[in-house]
Amino acid sequence: MRNDLELLLKLQVIDYDLGELERSKDYLPDMMENLNREIEDAKQKVVDTAGALEAARMARKKLELEIQSREAELQKYQQQMMSIKTNREYDALVAEIDNIKTAVSTAETELLQNMEKVDQMEKDIVTWREKEASVVDNNQKQLQVLQEKMDSIGDKVAEKKQSRKEVIQDISKPIMSTYERVRKGRGGRAVVVVKKRACSACFKALTPKKIQDIKKGNQVLTCDYCGCLLYWDDEESL
């Protein structure tokens, strides 16, 4: 029966590995999707910042042209001051000149703010491009590793299933039936070690007689409380 326990422990490891491989079919694609999303987000940030920078530069050019146009108007009106003949014309021209000066002042303030904004955005675009390059480099390396894992899952599952088949054929059917029943009921863990004279799955104390029988290893015994198959290990069980 010790041989059965050894085979059951080996089988349990194989089943755990199979479970991990099956779970990896779900979480690996999610991980890859997240990495790809990070790459796209980093690229989009560069595109958005570059677009905003271009718009700001166009706005600066527009303001510069507006100021040039207003200053040309101002110069024209100031020249007209020399030929004014009436107070009414003088007052009207002064009002127009004041309006132009106000418009120029406002445009110059906006231009200054725009220049500061462009300077900051030019620094930002460098930062975002560096981050994009770093994210793309790091994530593509991770994606390559994850893709290799994805590609190898099928082969690994096949290998584990073959190993499982070989182990199962040497385990008696009644014990195998008990193992499968407990494994399904407890989410994969069916064979557990005795620890401090108790079942390490449910922590219920075992009777002295049961402990002696488990120690002997003449038969595969189960916990009376949770049904797990029990084994003794001199290093862990004391």
The per-residue pLDDT for 186 is 85
Cα torsion 64, 66, 68, 73 to 10°: value is -170
Q: What is the pLDDT of residue 1?
A: 53
**CATH classification at residue 32:** 1.10.287.1490
Residue of higher predicted confidence among 192 and 89: 192
List C-alpha distances in Å: 18 to 23, 134, 153, 209: 9, 35, 10, 36
Question: What is the tens place of the pLDDT at every residue in 32-76?
Answer: 999 999 999 999 999 999 999 999 999 999 999 999 999 999 999
Tokens (6 digits) for 78: 């100031």
Report the pLDDT value the prediction gives residue 2, as an integer from 0 to 100. Answer: 58
| Amino acid occupying residue 76 | K
Amino acid letter, residue 194: V
How many domains does the chain contain in total?
2
Same domain as 146, residue 187: no
Q: Does residue 238 fall inside a structural domain?
A: no
Q: Report pLDDT digits (tens) over 179-200.
A: 999 999 888 889 999 999 999 9
**Residue 165: its pLDDT value, please?**
95
77, 100 in Cβ contact below 8 A? yes
pLDDT tens figures, 133-173: 999 999 999 999 999 999 999 999 999 999 999 999 999 99
Q: What percent of the chain has pLDDT over 70?
A: 99
Residue that terminates a domain, selected from 94, 122, 155? 155
In a domain, 162, yes or no: no
Residue 167 within any structural domain of the chain:
no
**With bands split at pLDDT 50, 70 and 90, how would you rate the model's confidence at 236?**
confident
- Tell me how many helices (H) and strands (E) the chain has: 4, 4
Query: Do residue 178 and residue 61 come from a single domain?
Result: no
- My answer on whether 104 and 216 are in the same domain is no
